[in-house]
């Protein structure tokens, strides 16, 4: 792991996103909360938050962080028949929270996939990316 012990604390924030493209019929079931496994977005939100908190256990050499705030939000895009996952993680500390935001977005997307797979065999997870990073030297 990189030694961050000598770095000063600063306010850190990272935003990330992922997109899950589904069949129009799946999107309708998701919006109506009529899928067999229940309220997909509520479960995916909790999964994303939990994943952000466990990033150091999942990705080798990531520092364990004590996030001050973790948010997981969704936008249903009927035109693209997809769900946009957007995450924000912040803290005051010595290292950035990009990996936590990306992990939250990825796991939230995987949870949507898992909860919809019984009715949709052609879903696609994509566009996983960092949207914003603030704090530290480069932010």
DSSP 8-class letter at 38: -
Catalytic sites, residue numbers: 114
Cβ-based neighbours of 139, under 8 Å, separated by 6 or more: 12, 13, 96, 133
């Amino acid at each position: 792991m990189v030694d961050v012990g000598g770095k000063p604390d600063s306010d850190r924030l990272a935003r990330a996103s992922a997109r899950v493209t589904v069949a129009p019929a799946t999107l309708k079931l998701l919006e109506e909360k009529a899928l067999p496994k229940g309220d997909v977005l509520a479960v995916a939100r909790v999964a994303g938050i939990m994943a952000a908190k466990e990033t150091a256990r999942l990705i080798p050499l990531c520092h364990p962080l004590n996030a001050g705030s973790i948010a997981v939000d969704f936008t249903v895009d009927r035109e693209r028949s997809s769900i946009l996952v957007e995450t924000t993680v912040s803290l005051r500390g010595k290292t950035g929270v990009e990996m936590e935001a990306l992990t939250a977005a990825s796991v939230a997307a995987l949870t949507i996939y898992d909860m919809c797979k019984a009715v949709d065999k052609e879903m696609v997870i994509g566009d996983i990316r960092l949207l914003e990073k603030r704090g530290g030297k480069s932010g």
